[in-house]
Amino acid sequence: MGKAILEMKGINKSFGNVSVLKDVDFTLQEGEVHALVGGNGAGKSTLMKIMTGVYSLDSGEIYINGERKNIQNTKDAKENGIAMIFQELSLVPTMTIAENIFLGEEITKTGFRDVSAMNKRAKEILNDLGIFINPELKVNQLSVGMSQMIEIAKAISKNARILVLDEPTASLSDSETVQLFRIIRQLKENGVSMVYISHRMNEILSISDAVTILRDGKKIITDNIENLDLDKIISHLVGGEASQKKFEWVEREYDANKDLILKVKNLKISDKIQNISFELQKGEILGIAGLMGSGRTEILETLFGIRKKLGGTIELLGKEININSSQDAIRYGFALIPEDRRRQGLVLGHSVKSNAILPYLRNLLIGKTYLISEKASNELANDDIKRLNIKTDSIHKRINLLSGGNQQKVVIAKWLNMNPKIMMLDEPTAGVDIGAKTEIIEIIRKFADEGKGVIFVSSELTELLSVCDRIITIFDGRITGSILRKNINSEEELQNAIQRSE
Ligand SMILES: Nc1ncnc2c1ncn2[C@@H]1O[C@H](COP(=O)(O)OP(=O)(O)OP(=O)(O)O)[C@@H](O)[C@H]1O
Ligand SMILES: [Mg+2]
């Protein structure tokens, strides 16, 4: 057994009168990857924000290398070698990679910023981590995955000995995840101790040495990974509550009369993404599988009017339609639950309620006035909270104060309230816990059962296989196949299909 590099003892934290952490103990051993696991709102991010000085604790003690420390702010944490990669990325998009890495600690020469020295040093730091990219590129030109790696490089350049990764893979593709895991193993070899937060059990089982499980702000257990398995972790996670339904695929009846709800023909989105043709039947759940960058998101964005099509036709219920804006798309009955919920899905300064009812406002007016019925809108928001099991103490809470997974549920509630004809979901379960995933999948099925159409994009093949009736595969901007779910026998088969160019 190694020695404890960090100990948190008896940590308590409340926001207002809501107690979020209750007498939590947490010990990180030197050089280990320690998974912190728990449902949405269990208190994982809050515990780590206390460790990194973002939040102050109400009571409790923190020790680093056996020495009592008083971490009041992020500067104190940094001085103690602690860094955190947040659930929400924090790079400045308009600055270069190198400028971001040295932000606030620029290398100077005779009083001026030494840009070439910073570029050179940034390159070395990145190369050490096996990342080969030009440090002069602006961050807004990078994929989410690459931004994530840059954040890590930035933390490491500050000599962090303790690194917290809060759901780092929620928006990464499979291959980016592989790269991240390589970096984590490299850091571990260099003696960095890490806390790893994730809702993906396969990641936890493959990367961590020890696991701590939080439930409703209480520590349930800490144990070495050898003593745990998937079933044990899940049973600690959900506690005495009803046992979790596994996401098992069930064949659905949907094509009785083969009515088409949507027909996309020869859609051209860019020089790379073209000849996109597919059909969606009433009641069908259609999956789109492909690697990151293959064009999945672009197809959804075009149907939702965020991108302009360069050619081809879109037919809704047998009639050709023209979608020039999101307003058009919404009017025709499309809904899009976007991949990047913080940027596109929510108004962060507003309450849970005003976010949930946003697309539905017109239906909440009193008589012929422009006044919103307070009673009707409160009822709707309260229903959403119950239906999707959204964890918040009130519908009036500001949405950015909800935990990550609960924010995602509000996005889904918002679009369901609009009662769309076609629901498009782009990685909807990124960052939501197992319980909520099962709920979201149930919601998708029920929605399709009403004879509506669903288009579902996910990098998690297990998920596609558990919910879709049919899956189309795309490779490098072209559709390469359409397979009925019942003809797919394993995840591997699908994995192979998405990696083939024909
Ligand atoms: N600044 C804040 N003000 C008020 N409440 C907060 C604040 N930050 C967090 N909370 C509440 O504390 C609880 C725990 O949130 P936390 O973000 O720690 O959960 P989490 O375990 O990280 O969940 P997730 O898996 O969804 O990210 C939630 O109910 C959340 O709404
Ligand atoms: Mg969190």
Q: Residue 463: what pLDDT?
A: 86
Question: How far apart, in whole angstroms, are the C-alpha atoms of residue 499 and residue 92?
Answer: 33
- Please provide residue 176's backbone torsions phi and psi, each rounded to the nearest 5 degrees: -70, -35
Pocket of ligand 1, candidates 403, 408, 439, 440: which has the most ligand atoms within 8 Å of its Cβ, to mutate?
403
For residue 345, is pLDDT > 80? no
Whether 482 has a pLDDT exceeding 60, the answer reads yes
Give the residue whose CA is nearest to atom 25 of ligand 1.
40
Share of the chain above pLDDT 90, in %: 49
Angle at Cα 265 formed by Cα 262 and Cα 267, nearest 5°?
110
Please give the residue that has the higher pLDDT: either 359 or 468: 468
Task: Show which of 173, 208, 238 is a domain's final residue.
Answer: 238
Tell me which residue range forms the domain holding 320: 260-498
Average pLDDT, the chain: 88
Query: Range with the lowest mean pLDDT among 2-11, 117-126, 276-285, 367-376?
Result: 367-376
Give the pLDDT confidence score for residue 130 in this predicted structure: 80
pLDDT at residue number 281: 94
Provide the pLDDT confidence category of residue 88 given band limits of 50, 70 and 90: low
pLDDT at res. 255: 62
pLDDT of residue 422: 96
pLDDT at 168 over 90: no
The answer to whether residue 254 is domain-embedded is: no
**Which secondary-structure segment (H or E) carries 224?**
strand 218-224
Which pLDDT value is given to residue 247?
63
Closest CA to 65 of 127, 148, 3: 3
User: Number of structural domains, the chain?
Assistant: 2
274 and 134 co-located in one domain = no
pLDDT of residue 179: 85
Domain-terminating residue out of 179, 205, 238: 238
For residue 361, give the 3-state DSSP assignment: helix
Instruction: Select from 238, 271, 298 the last residue of a domain.
Output: 238
Q: How far is the CA of 402 from the centre of ligand 1 (A)?
A: 5
Tell me the CA–centroid distance for residue 19 and ligand 1, in Å: 11
Quick one: pLDDT at residue 79? Answer: 92
Same domain, 153 and 302: no
Task: Note the pLDDT of residue 432.
Answer: 81
Residue list, ligand 1 pocket, CB within 6 Å: 15, 20, 38, 40-46, 87, 391, 401-406
User: What would the mean pLDDT of 82-92 be, rounded to a whole number?
Assistant: 80
CA of 138 to the centre of ligand 1 (A): 31
Query: What confidence category does residue 226 fall into, taking pLDDT thresholds of 50, 70 and 90?
Result: very high
Helix (H, G, I), strand (E, B) or coil at 448: helix
User: Are 294 and 360 in the same domain?
Assistant: yes
Q: Which residue's CA is minimally distant from atom 29 of ligand 1? A: 41
At 244 the pLDDT is 52
Would you state the pLDDT for residue 465?
92
For the cut 60, the answer to whether the pLDDT of residue 304 exceeds it is yes
In a domain, 251, yes or no: no
Token pair 């320690």 is found at 34
Mean pLDDT to the nearest integer, 259-275: 94
Does residue 71 lie within any of the structural domains?
Answer: yes
How do residues 364-385 score in pLDDT, each as one tens digit?
Answer: 777 777 777 888 889 989 988 9
Q: Whole-angstrom Cα distance, residue 12 to residue 24?
A: 7
Helix-then-strand count for the chain, H and E:
16, 22
Query: Residue 324 belongs to a domain with what CATH number?
Result: 3.40.50.300
Tell me if residue 11 falls in helix, strand or coil. strand
Gap from CA of 44 to ligand 2 centroid (Å): 6
Q: Which atom of ligand 1 is nearest to the CA of 18?
A: 5
Whether residue 252 is contained in a domain is answered as no
pLDDT band at 129 (very low <50, low <70, confident <90, very high): confident
Whole-number pLDDT of residue 119? 95
Question: Can you give the pTM of this predicted structure?
Answer: 0.79
Report if residue 134 sits inside a domain: yes
Please give the structure tokens belonging to residue 191. Answer: 């003696």
User: For residue 67, what pLDDT is reported?
Assistant: 96
The answer to whether residues 184 and 289 belong to one domain is no
- Is residue 48's pLDDT more than 90? yes
**Pairwise CA distance, residues 292 & 274, whole Å:** 17
pLDDT 10s digits, 131-155: 889 999 998 888 777 888 898 888 8
CB 283 within 8 A of CB 260: no
Is residue 113 included in any domain, yes or no?
Answer: yes
